[in-house]
Structure formats: structure tokens, C-alpha cells
Amino acid sequence: MSTPVEDTQDLTGSRVELEIGPVAHGGHCVARWDGRVVFVRHTLPGERVVAEITEGGAGDRFLRADAVEVLTAAPGRVASRCPVSGPGGCGGCDFQHVDLAVQRELLGAVVEEQLSRLARIDRRVVVRPPLGDEDADGLDWRTRVTFATGSDGSLGLRKHRSHEVVPLDACPIASPELPDVLSLPWPASRVLAVAGSGGDRFVGAYDVTGDLPSVETDGLMADGRRVSGRAWVRERVRDREFRVGGSGFWQVHPRSAETLVDAVLRAADVRPGERVADLYAGVGLFTAFLAEAVGPEGTVLSVEGDARGSRDAKRNLHDLPQAAVLHGDVEQLLRRGDVGERCDVVVLDLLRTGARAKVVRAIAALRPRRVVYVADAAAALARDVATFASEGYDLGEVEAYALFPMTHHVECVAVLDRRS
């Protein structure tokens, strides 16, 4: 099945037998066919499969494919827990066909590969489940879901790398505490459902330009009817309560926030009286517990670019006079000196693009003794670790957590110490 083809030929729909190689970032594994790399979903390293090409032509450097038939299964393959996952189905999950322990092994391999390739660091990375979730089955955990609306108004999730909506009656990874939005038609392009750990629920309906005026977006859903309610939810972590705008950022697994707070406090190892900068701080989750750790003689600056997040942070930190909130673009504030001239510890919690070189260099200019880098993208983490190394910071401990079961996402908490 490896007969050469013309360079102009579209290979979409072609089926080939492949020997599957290692896992790669993005929820797929790597195979080779006719001299090209093929990124294959719905498979495992070591399997032999029949794969259907989903993207690419004969002249492309790489192809994308789905495993549509497993000829030789690898250890760790299980029956999918979702009826709409798999080739041509919902793109929300990558590993419904993989045992949870094996999922974590795959995620660890991805982090190790990215650190090796991009930062030239060989490091064994063990991925753990969320705190208290060791015996969970990987289902019923997602407390924030944005559903897309199909042409008939029904809700679902999109196919992988597609705008096509797969209708859903239920989502196996969604929390049962979410408001029931799937049973109703919606005059919106997307609908956000949120279940806060403090008992609140939120529904937001949006068109492509923002909120739909004809839909009460800040209401709550009860028994299929819209009722009045807050535009925010309460989230509880340890002994503190946080106010989070319904559409604001918060970790989607109910144990994620506590898991990351514990990891960040261990990694930061802040001391009473120290000055700490918490960058990309959101609603102040890490800031609050870092402020408790530095005590009344220390200071923690919570820096966030989202206006709603900064407003929520001010409310969440009002009882901690040693914590201050600074709203604005992190790179600009660092460059202008608004964060200060020196910090003892810097914590940064980044989305998939990472900090990038300008921010890394600005952080290094503060000469913190330690940087704690929280990342949900291994590639961005590895690139920034390489930049930190050029600025005199060495990678220490790396903790990793599978906070998004069934998906390829992995959260890392990395320590970077300044060379003496």
C-alpha cells in the first residue's frame, strides 16, 4: 500500500496500513508512509492500523489521518467511553480509547520529548492525576463547557479541525452539575455552561460578535426555563472563596485549582517578608495563597491583562493588604517598570502561546531567585525554558498533572532557579 503517487494528487479519503510510532504533542501519534510523516489520531504507539487520510496531498511534507481499523492493538487500548468519539466524530477528546494510566504515560512522553527537542534537557516526567482523583474514571469532571450550535439550533461540539458540529444528547466528560442546555434549541452560535464549586450555575449565549441581546446571557437555567441570576459563580479552594465571572477563566476540573495551588506553593517556597510577582494572575487564585505565605511583612503583586479578571481579583483579595492588583498587559507593565525593579519570586500561569522571549528577559531582569512557570502547553514551556537558560536560569523540578482526562492537554509546574 505504499505505491508512490503524483505530487498533485489529493490523498484525502485514501486508506493505508501503518505501523504507529511515538506519541506527539496534539493528541496524535507519528507514522511514516511513502517518505512522509503521518499524524494519526485514535491510535497508540506500537499498533498496526488501517488509517484514512483526512488532510493532505502527495506533495505535502506531512499528512493527517484517523485510525479507522485496528489490526494489532497495543496494551492500554480500551473501549471508548463516548458514543460520538472516534474517526469523524466529536473532536473534544483525544484519548477515549486509552486507559487512564496509559494516558498519563503518553502525556509524560510528550513533555519529555518537547524538553529534549526544544530545550536540550533530558528529564523524566511523571504525570499525576488531580489530587484526590486517583481512582476516578476520567468522566463527569468538566465544569465549564462551551457548546457550538448547529444549523437547527441544537448544541454539540465540533469535529477535529472542523467547524462542523456533532450534535450531543450528553457529554461523558461534562459534570452532571452543569445546567441542562443540551435539551433546548438556541438562537446563538455558542453556549457556555458553568457549574461553580460554590453551588452556582451560569449560562451564557453568544453570537460571533459577543452576547446575543435577545438572550439573557447572565441568567441561570432551571428545569429548562430561564431564571434571573448572577453573572458570576463562586469557587472554593481550601478555606477561601473566589468570585469568578461566568465567562472568566477558571480551571475546568473540580480538583485542578487545589492541585495547582499545592504544586505552586511547594515550587515557590516563598518566605515571610518576600516580594512576589504573580503574572497572568487571573482572579487571584495563586496570589491569595502566596500572600498568606509571605505574611503581612511581604508583598504579592497580582498582574492580569483581562479587565474582568482584575476586578474579580480585587474582590477576592480584599482581606489581604499585602496583595495588590495591577491591571494591564504583562509585557508592557514589565517593560515600563510598573512591576518593580526586583522580585524574590515570580510566578507565571500561561496559556498555550507561552511567555515568549521578551517577557522571559523582562522577568530575568527582575533577578528573582526563583521562577515558577505554570504551563498547559509543553512546547511553549520548553521554548521558554531554553530562553530562561540563556538568561541564567536552570530548570529544576517539573511536576505534571493530567487535569483534562481523555484529552492531550497536560499541566506542568516547573521551577527555574537563578544560577549563583
- Same domain flag for 363 and 301: yes
C-alpha cell at 219: 441568567
Round to whole Å and give the CA distance between 288 and 280: 14
Residue 78 forms part of a structural domain:
no
Task: Report angle CA 205, 210, 215 to the nearest 5 degrees.
Answer: 35
Residue 8 forms part of a structural domain:
no
Backbone dihedral angles phi then psi of residue 279, each to the nearest 5 degrees:
-95, 145
- Same domain flag for 258 and 231: no
DSSP state of 211: E
How far is the CA of 195 from the CAs of 56, 154, 352, in angstroms?
A: 40, 21, 24
Q: Total domain count for the chain?
A: 3
Instruction: List, in sequence order, the alpha helices (H) in 99-201.
Output: 100-119
Domain range for residue 343?
A: 116-131+251-418
Q: Give me the count of residues in the chain.
A: 420
Tell me whether residue 349 is annotated as binding: yes
Amino acid at 4: P
- Same domain flag for 313 and 387: yes
Tell me whether residue 251 is annotated as binding: yes
pLDDT of residue 228: 43
Tell me whether residue 393 is annotated as binding: no
Residue 304 forms part of a structural domain:
yes
Residue 89 forms part of a structural domain:
no
Round to whole Å and give the CA distance between 210 and 295: 41
Round to whole Å and give the CA distance between 282 and 278: 9
Residue 94 forms part of a structural domain:
no
pLDDT of residue 4: 53
- Same domain flag for 123 and 196: no
- Please list the rounded mean pLDDT of every run of 10 residues in the chain (420 residues): 62 97 96 96 98 94 97 98 95 97 98 98 97 94 95 92 95 94 83 90 77 44 44 93 91 97 98 98 98 98 96 97 97 96 96 91 98 96 98 98 97 96
Round to whole Å and give the CA distance between 403 and 420: 34
Contact 163, 139 (CB under 8 A): no
How far is the CA of 32 from the CAs of 65, 86, 109, 338, 357, in angstroms?
A: 11, 21, 19, 51, 34
Tell me whether residue 401 is annotated as binding: no
- Same domain flag for 335 and 264: yes
